[in-house]
Chain A
């Protein structure tokens, strides 16, 4: 999976490149708008991450250029300014997503993955599994090692999200918006509490532990035995 990053801020660019490379993507980094547009037009990418303010050609210009050239890869904008007009302009030009700086890297990674998944078929299986955990979407039932685990509606939704994005670190904000439709950060540690309760039910009496807290980033469900 190839990603084009156009970012003029040196540190941001380096960290984005490193982070995404380590997450398993093949990353090309352009330091200004002119290089960015050139790469965008000549190479083929699965995703482009564009800064809005760039020397040479700005993010809008690059987006317009690659869309004119008929390339329809998803485009994610990074912007330091959170202005409604900017969003509207980006959407009109065909941007797919938006992140306002400062953002959490885990949030970016989650967005990148979901943008790349877009278009590929959603997993329509009846069962989602990890190790001996099994979630039955049809019957809304969860079992671990064959034992039935009772979950509330929201806990079920939370577990479903973690299983669907197995191995990805999910930031709290993403969990809040996907599970509870809350698009703001709460002053209260709602996600921590919900996660703790889910782990009590899921992991306390079982091995291996599936849900892991990544401090400062979020939560991930993974089967460490396989890693």
Chain B
């Protein structure tokens, strides 16, 4: 993964725009410059070749020594006096026969170039000037040796001609071109920088708006949400994710504050009992037995409170970051049997029969699961009508295992079926704070089942109350469970 340094997006994007536009313009300038350069070279070559052809003809006109001495007359206007065009003619003995004003090339170079590189242009420098030059060895019609007795020996004198164009105008043009190009590149860089910066700022404006909105989210105002409709598509997802996060936070926060108020509420009664009882006890001198009785009663009350607190803590843990601590294969039949053993005595007192049907295995945290099932069974035993049966049915399906616990008892109203899993929920408020339970049993069962990725449901048909736990068989799937 690439690490992104912590700089401003606007600055980074502006920088990128500037670099991109400058690079493109520079590349374009380079391409244009080099094609202009090539074009100039082609033009020069054409000119030089044409002039060389003219020279060739002119040289063939040279028939006498006199002709050779007055070459300028033969060359005519097309060759001489042309601005920027230089012509130089030398003979084999390296002496200059003819040269235009600025043609100060070395005769040796002319001859060498004509021999090695005939009719091909090359760059010559002369002092500060650069020339594109072409040279060739040309024939004349001047006999190499004087005509004796009208007899021509058939050999004619050769000359070496160099024609050169001054490149200064080209250079001047290219210089101007490059200057313009630089100017444009710099201008474009500044402009794209400015425009880019403005564009980025306007594009990022929704982000700033989101930041402002996010500032409004506080513990007291967790219901505040980011406006998804007003932000661009790309940021809508971010806003939605943030909103989802806020939803989760709000739910967790609400649970936490519910938890605090629940526990405060539930502890208030026993605490005030303890306080009153203790203060009454202290209000006058009593005998040892009375003190003992009060202390014993206090101990019971305190034990109840301690249990409630540890149950609440378990629930809080379950609802905040409950990872199933350990998974092992649990034999449900055995587990139910162990629980039957435990509740056997209580069941017998009420004349209840504990019956189990089915077998099954599930990957689960044994202690947690036992607690969940134990709470259900305890609940069933407590609410069962005397001399009835409690049925536990284990059934294994393709993807899940379900455990149904059924007892005969008072029907539970439709409206309470969901709420029985709430903390401290009691259908009959007058039974509040029974000494038996903390009112957290089913809530704990539900959170344990949820932590295992399973579901729990309560059903009441006629006098039959059934709690059904469904646990996924695939442990991985369960791990992901919400």
Residues of A within 8 A of B (CB): 82, 84, 100, 102-104, 152, 154, 176, 180-190, 193-194, 197, 215-217
Contacts and interface: CB of A to CB of B under 8 A. Distances in A.
A188 B338 contact: no
Given A102-B309, A184-B371, A190 B300 contact: no
B438 A182 contact: no
B67 interface: no
Nearest to B350: A193
18 contacts: A82-B310, A102-B306, A102-B309, A154-B344, A183-B370, A183-B371, A184-B371, A186-B375, A188-B346, A189-B436, A190-B342, A190-B345, A190-B346, A190-B378, A197-B345, A215-B296, A216-B295, A216-B303
Given A189-B436, A193-B345, A82 B313 contact: yes
Nearest to A181: B338
Q: Which 6 pairs between the two chains have the least Cβ-Cβ distance?
A: A216-B299, A187-B437, A215-B296, A102-B306, A188-B378, A180-B342
Interface residues of chain B: helix, strand, loop or mixed (majority): helix
A216 B436 contact: no
Contacts of B165: none
Contacts of A186: 342-343, 374-375, 378
A182 B370 CA distance: 8
**Among the interface residues B302, B313, B342, B375, which one has the most CB atoms of the partner chain A within 10 A?**
B342
A188 B345 contact: no
A48 B306 CA distance: 24
Given A216-B296, A216-B300, A182 B374 contact: yes
B346 A189 contact: yes
B77 interface: no
Nearest to A84: B325
B361 interface: no
Contacts of B343: 186, 188, 190
Contacts of B342: 176, 180, 182, 186, 190
B74 interface: no
Interface residues of chain A: helix, strand, loop or mixed (majority): loop
Given A104-B303, A180-B341, A180-B342, A187 B436 contact: yes
Nearest to B349: A193
Interface in B249-307: 295-300, 302-303, 306-307
**Among the interface residues B307, B325, B379, which one has the most CB atoms of the partner chain A within 10 A?**
B307
B107 interface: no
Interface in B366-423: 367, 370-371, 374-375, 378-379, 381-382
Nearest to B311: A185
Contacts of A176: 342
A187 B382 contact: yes
A169 to B, nearest CB: 11
A104 B441 CA distance: 21
B449 to A, nearest CB: 15
Interface in B17-39: none
**Among the interface residues A103, A185, A186, A193, which one has the most CB atoms of the partner chain B within 10 A?**
A186
B448 to A, nearest CB: 11
A197 B345 CA distance: 8
B381 A188 contact: yes
A187 B441 contact: yes
Contacts of A189: 346, 436
A188 B295 CA distance: 23
B227 to A, nearest CB: 40
Contacts of B306: 102-104
Contacts of A188: 343, 346, 378, 381-382, 436-437
A187 B441 CA distance: 7
Contacts of A185: 307, 311
B343 to A, nearest CB: 6
